[in-house]
Amino acid sequence: MKITFRKYEVKRGSRTYKVLIPIPEIEDLYVVSTDATGAVILGNECSLEKFEYILTVAATNKDSVIFIPSRKNELTEYLLDRWSNKDNGNDLVLLHHTIQFKRNEWKAIRSLIRKSKNENIEEIIVTKDQEGTRNLSKYWHREHKDYLDIKEQYETLFLIGSKEIFVNISNDSREVREEGRDLFVRHPGYHAHEHIDYYERRKHNKDYKDVGWSLSLDFYDRELWKR
């Protein structure tokens, strides 16, 4: 599959960030905040397939910040009533730890992108052999360092990871997409989902309780669900 991006180079101080925005933008992908440390990414077969391939691009482009402006997708009444704790969804940003991105600069970077008239088009071919397979066993060990960091700021959900992390989430997206429609048809009310907070860096309070994020990928087709 060929993924097309608008490419921007944004300078902030001594640093230049390469920002990629997929075109056309992904319709029917919703990034919903559920509470202070909870979110869900919902999509149908088409949007989850695009997201799957964009995650593969994120895995192999360590120097790029991938910006998905999903906040433009207006939340349905069902999502507002059952899921969201606010009136709008979030944008989504994917990037590697190695970029050492300063999130407090994101609002200014996003504004510069919107005002910019200097953009280039970049096309990236994603092939099946780039998808890879998941290796979940390493996340059972506390000493493993290759974790996902999840942050929310400026109406944006940041997923900060590595090649392996994004390959794993891409495969999760594919599984949700492939089983989503069939599961709902066979069991109305049920929806396919995968918890991607599984990859998060573990955080505990003084009582050793998990205080990390709750984040999942969920199948949601508003036409199929009729809500």
Report the candidate in 124, 135, 129 with the shortest Cα–Cα distance to residue 164: 135
pLDDT of residue 146: 73
Percent of the chain with pLDDT over 70: 88
pLDDT at 201: 76
- How far is it, in rounded angstroms, from Cα 137 to Cα 225? 35
Range of the domain at 211: 2-225
- Split at pLDDT 50, 70, 90, the class of 180 is confident
* CA gap 68, 25 in Å, rounded: 7
pTM: 0.91
At a CB cut-off of 8 Å and minimum separation 6, what does 36 contact? Answer: none
Which of 19-28, 62-71, 192-201 has the weakest average pLDDT? 192-201
Residue 203 pLDDT greater than 80, yes or no: no
Give just the sign of the alpha carbon dihedral 66, 55, 61, 158. Answer: positive
- For residues 206 and 187, what is the distance between their CA atoms, to the nearest angstrom? 41
Q: What is the pLDDT of residue 156?
A: 98
pLDDT tens digits, residue range 79-94?
999 999 999 999 999 9
The pLDDT of residue 206 is above 80: no
Domain count for the chain = 1
- Whole-angstrom Cα distance, residue 45 to residue 77? 20
The answer, yes or no, to whether residue 137 has pLDDT greater than 80, is no
Give tens-digit pLDDT for 3-44: 999 999 999 989 999 999 999 999 999 999 999 899 999 999
pLDDT tens for each residue of 94-135: 999 999 999 999 999 999 999 988 889 999 998 766 455 566
Please determine, for residue 144, whether its predicted confidence score (pLDDT) is greater than 60: no
> What angle (nearest 5°) sits at the alpha carbon of residue 38, between those of residues 35 and 41?
120
69 close to 32: Cβ distance less than 8 angstroms: no
